Structure 1
Amino acid sequence: MTTSFEMREVRDERRALHWSTTSEEFGDIRVRYPADIRPSTGTGARAEGSAIPTTLMISWSVFEDKPRLTGARLWIDGQEVQTRRNRWAVRKTRRALRITYEGTEYRCTAISRKRYVLTRPGLAITATDSGIGPKRRRLRVQIDGSAQPLDVSLAVLFSGVNRSHLTLGGAFRAACSTVFNLLADNAARS
């Protein structure tokens, strides 16, 4: 069974971005980044909705609003979940973020900079970010297989996360950017 829906990017009164949509099957769905985190322990992204469980990813991200995968912590309905990835791998499939929750193994694999897929046995959810500018950005979510609300919540959560580390080029750019920003910061303090 294949279904799909499209999310639009909106900015709220506190300048936080979020993706928002209403799906026939899964009700209202929202992804907020940066998410309100109390106490402030970094930056986060939160996926929530009327028929999906709340998922939250928190990490340090000094230079942007989206949490990074490095050192990230993931919660599903308030329960912390173990994530892992091979940051030294060359192939995309080996660099994938692996999540194990209640005996089910999920993988979030980057297809390109603006496209990723969340998989588990019998299911693939592909999300594609398109458009430029605040009023034209869209996130198209295509579900191939029988999806549960948790599957959709995890899949849309990663639209609010910096996934660049899942690609080799993105990881290289992120490393260079971090080094140059730290050098510039140290030079400015001198």
Structure 2
Amino acid sequence: MTELQFELQSFSRREKGSRKGLVNGFGEVTVTVKRRKRSTRAGFDQLTVRLHGEQMPAIEYCTVGPQRPTLKNSRFRINGHVVQLAFNDKAFRNTSRALTFSYHDRSYRYTVIGFEKGSKLSRPGVLITVTRGNSTLRKGMSSFGAVTGDADALDVALALIFEEINTTELTTSGLVSDVLNRILNPRADELGE
């Protein structure tokens, strides 16, 4: 597919945060966040993000945290295979802090454009840009996607799953916030143990 565009609208149900919409060529897609009971070890909710769609691969992202799913303490699975996520948490620029991961013979790079502005998922020959803005159909915010290149269902699914994950750590402002948090609360990392 080349030059595909789509919109996923936000909606929420009891205990869930979600996005759903029609992605031409791939059918209806829904991304859901489900909270489970608090972990007695960490003291936070267990959060699971799942992507659903008839033509989409099975993707699951699990984490422990107080609000939105984060990159810390996470487990990422594609079609049942565990995928390792990595990013340079010492880098200053958003492009240098990009999240990288591989699945089978594909290498992906996920870059946050700016705080709450959007993101880019790329692999050789494919670029998917997702931005946020006012919904075209109703009140609330939507995620707007633009696909360039020969993307398949896996590419689109990967770009969409991160819409419900807090990726602030991949931004310069996330770096500054983390440094300030460590200065003001140097023992914060010990709370989960």
TM-score range, shorter chain: 0.7 to 0.9
Q: Is the 8 A contact 2:15 2:34 kept in 1?
A: no
Verify: 1:119 aligned to 2:122, yes or no: yes
Q: Is the 8 A contact 2:115 2:173 kept in 1?
A: no
Q: How big is the shift at 1:56?
A: 1.4
The residue type paired with residue 166 of structure 1 is L
Task: Find the aligned partners of 1:20 and 1:181 in 2 and give their Cα distance.
Answer: 38
The residue type paired with residue 131 of structure 1 is N
Q: Is the 8 A contact 2:18 2:33 kept in 1?
A: yes
Structure 2: which 5+ residue stretches go unaligned?
189-193
Verify: 1:46 aligned to 2:50, yes or no: yes
The residue type paired with residue 3 of structure 1 is L
Task: Find the aligned partners of 2:183 and 2:111 in 1 and give their Cα distance.
Answer: 25
Q: Is the 8 A contact 1:10 1:135 kept in 2?
A: no
The residue type paired with residue 74 of structure 1 is F
In structure 1, the residue matched to 2:81 is: 79
Q: Is the 8 A contact 2:4 2:24 kept in 1?
A: no
Task: Find the aligned partners of 2:74 and 2:20 in 1 and give their Cα distance.
Answer: 23
In structure 1, the residue matched to 2:8 is: 7
Task: Find the aligned partners of 1:96 and 1:26 in 2 and give their Cα distance.
Answer: 27
> Could you tell me which of 130, 134, 159 is aligned with 2:133?
130
Task: Find the aligned partners of 1:181 and 1:5 in 2 and give their Cα distance.
Answer: 42
Q: Deviations over 1:64-119 (max 9, x none)?
A: 1x211123221001211111111111122221110100021001101111210000
Q: How big is the shift at 1:171?
A: 3.0
Task: Find the aligned partners of 1:109 and 1:67 in 2 and give their Cα distance.
Answer: 17
The residue type paired with residue 20 of structure 1 is K
Residue 139 of structure 1: SS of its match in structure 2?
strand
Task: Find the aligned partners of 1:48 and 1:56 in 2 and give their Cα distance.
Answer: 10
Q: Deviations over 1:127-150 (max 9, x none)?
A: 111239x93211001101111100
Distance 1:106 1:10, change over 3 A: same
Q: How big is the shift at 1:179?
A: 7.5
Task: Find the aligned partners of 1:157 and 1:179 in 2 and give their Cα distance.
Answer: 32
Q: Deviations over 1:130-174 (max 9, x none)?
A: 239x93211001101111100011000000000100001123225
| Structure (1 or 2) with the greater strand fraction | 2
| Structure (1 or 2) with the greater helix fraction | 1
In structure 1, the residue matched to 2:175 is: 171
In structure 1, the residue matched to 2:148 is: 144
Task: Find the aligned partners of 1:83 and 1:183 in 2 and give their Cα distance.
Answer: 25
In structure 1, the residue matched to 2:165 is: 161
TM-score, with length taken from structure 2: 0.82
In structure 2, the residue matched to 1:99 is: 101
Residue 156 of structure 1: SS of its match in structure 2?
helix
Q: Is the 8 A contact 1:57 1:74 kept in 2?
A: yes
Task: Find the aligned partners of 2:153 and 2:177 in 1 and give their Cα distance.
Answer: 34
Q: How big is the shift at 1:23?
A: 2.0
